[in-house]
A and B are shown apart, each in its own frame.
Chain A
């Protein structure tokens, strides 16, 4: 995340819709000046917007009375928070020890090539975002990845193309 995160512009562009902004302000209002609620507010905000753009982080910082540096520190620390839009299909590939020894790096390689993205990024068509995570708790089935709520086990690089096409087709319908 760190390399490309440096390139975020300085200007605070307003990208939320009015509805989103009102809903976000309602969430914040419930936690006004409660710095301890930061993580749960960020969580709700991400549910609402899909990710945590700068505008959201600043509104949360201001509303909860938390320094913006701390908000950004928390957002970048926890992998569940995203600072860029996520794809319609969120791929989380496990690279825990078991999956690693069972070939997760080769799966990752192929996913990067198929989607044209690096971990943390979203494909140009906005369909897929790719993340590498630690243990998903299915070590016996490794390498494992999830696409949204679907679990895919015993992945083989050569079958990934078909698997992704399946999702593309559901999108086309």
Chain B
């Protein structure tokens, strides 16, 4: 491939054809400011912040969409470009509420950061402000279009990455607004609540629906016994809320931090991840041996579940009936644990720390309860926990490493990797192989299901039966795989789907920013967590074995059926329709 020679700010640089001026400048250490740009997802040049001067061009050019050309001479910081950027930013701010101090994205806002970097000291343009109602129709996400800068990142990620198309730019000109069809609230359209939009929003126009206040209230209530569970992916991202490098493993500090906040017991979702492997593994074996819908799809990811309910209701019988680890935890906390600890179940309040906004929706699904008591009472995203800890003045970096409480704090490496795409599959295969064949698996690392490839395949020999499996992450990839399955063109037995790109480490409730490099670092960290665990196979988790002995009996037994398994419902694809076609 021939490289293209150009100069940027007088410095020569070579770049591959198709490289943008923005990318070429970055290789020289010149970071041209951007707002709407999101690498590989949203490259529209719509915000006009990244303007540069290209010699010979009639007007200033948007660096994010201008490809390099041979002999091109680019100037990035001339009086003309700086003035243009500033004017464009001032115009954007002229229709943006000046509420930074009380905004959920205060100090983590790209618009605010730009205004600071460009040294804006006044808003010279006064005029009409666009007026659109806020949308609090879902338990997971809230929209405030008044804060929208129309960068379209959310639209791009929802369409191109997730293939859900819940939102789109509506109307035109000054009336333009990003909204669901017919300006309906998000809760009334086919949105899966994955929150990828909230992860890429540069401002506070779409964000997680915070439950911090509810959790503070529960912690302050002496009548409550408040237990907390932490999802696998949160231990490799929470550090970012406190300026630590992406991929920092903060498991011990996370536990210590939760104790400082006053939780009565700090438990681990990893424990019920191990339990999920037992239940789902036996479900797979049963379907293979006794018949049942195949392929079996994993059911840990609530965004994926809602996606199937809206878009592929015919495949509902293929979903594992296992509740997600979050819900299994809640169900057991209010039965087995409450009983063991001698606490009335109605006093137990279960909080989850999740990388996920869809988990908030999952927790309030009416079927997610035991005898009328909700499994999980409040779900905090990684971002919300970060805020709580900052509010409480916890010096996170200085915290000691502490251990989870028992018995629900005991887990394995297999559970930790639930946080990354391919992890549930790898954990399941580690167990399935040993349970079915009775032989020990030599190398526990099943590399073919790891990594950020959109769709991965693996087959494993289980004493004569070749188990064929596939893995997809991000709903766009999931849809491609599901289409093949729906057309009957595959012979997979088992398929793992995680709703978000990269799996839960890239979840919609994770720290902002989350980009490809950060996802990779968190993923690497997850596998390090696995390597460091003494036990790395779910079926060897002693606490899980005890749980079966003392309480559940056997996988897929009567109690499991009652507490750990659930059902699904078709949902409408079109507003007003009862269910999809």
Contacts and interface: CB of A to CB of B under 8 A. Distances in A.
Interface of A: 1-3, 5-6, 8, 10-13, 54, 57-58, 61-62, 67-73, 76-77, 79
Contacts of A12: 574-577
Contact of B574 (A2, A13, A61, A77): A61
Interface string B142-182: 00000000000000000100000111111110010100111
Contacts, number: 73
A58 B183 contact: no
A67 B177 contact: no
A67 B149 CA distance: 23
Nearest to B163: A67
A134 B471 CA distance: 52
B497 to A, nearest CB: 20
A31 to B, nearest CB: 17
A66 to B, nearest CB: 9
Nearest to A6: B183
In this complex, the member of B167, B576, B581 whose beta carbon has the largest number of chain A beta carbons within 10 angstroms is B576
28 contacts: A1-B171, A2-B132, A2-B171, A2-B177, A2-B183, A5-B183, A8-B183, A10-B188, A10-B576, A12-B575, A12-B576, A54-B182, A54-B575, A57-B181, A58-B575, A58-B576, A58-B577, A67-B159, A67-B165, A67-B168, A68-B189, A68-B574, A69-B180, A70-B165, A72-B170, A72-B181, A73-B168, A77-B170
Contacts of B167: 69
B175 A70 contact: no
B184 interface: yes
A62 B580 CA distance: 10
B47 to A, nearest CB: 19
B576 A72 contact: no
In this complex, the member of B167, B169, B182, B576 whose beta carbon has the largest number of chain A beta carbons within 10 angstroms is B182
A70 to B, nearest CB: 6
Interface string B555-581: 000000000000000000111110001
A73 B169 contact: yes
Given A69-B166, A71-B181, A77 B576 contact: no
A65 B12 CA distance: 49
Contact of A8 (B172, B177, B182): B182
B168 A72 contact: yes
A62 B181 contact: no
Contact of B168 (A2, A3, A54, A69): A69
A76 to B, nearest CB: 5
A88 B214 CA distance: 55
A10 B165 contact: no
Interface residues of B, number: 27
Nearest to B190: A68
B575 A76 contact: no
A61 B580 CA distance: 13
B170 A58 contact: no
A51 B573 CA distance: 23
Contact of A62 (B170, B574, B576): B574
A156 to B, nearest CB: 29
Contact of A69 (B133, B189, B576, B577): B189
Contact of B133 (A6, A71, A76): A6
Contacts of B165: 67-70
A1 to B, nearest CB: 6
B315 to A, nearest CB: 18
Contacts of A13: 576
A54 B180 CA distance: 13
Interface string B166-210: 111111100101001111100011000000000000000000000
Contacts of A77: 170-172
A61 B188 CA distance: 17
B439 to A, nearest CB: 49
Contacts of A1: 171, 175
Contacts of B168: 67, 69-70, 72-73
A8 B188 CA distance: 13
Nearest to A75: B170
A47 B561 CA distance: 56
A68 B575 contact: yes
A141 to B, nearest CB: 26
B172 A10 contact: no
B170 A76 contact: yes
B167 to A, nearest CB: 6
A72 B190 CA distance: 14
A2 B181 CA distance: 13
Contacts of A11: 576
A6 B181 CA distance: 10
A128 B182 CA distance: 24
Contacts of A61: 574
Nearest to B159: A67
Contacts of A5: 171, 182-183
Nearest to B131: A3
Contacts of A54: 182, 575-576
Contacts of B183: 2, 5-6, 8
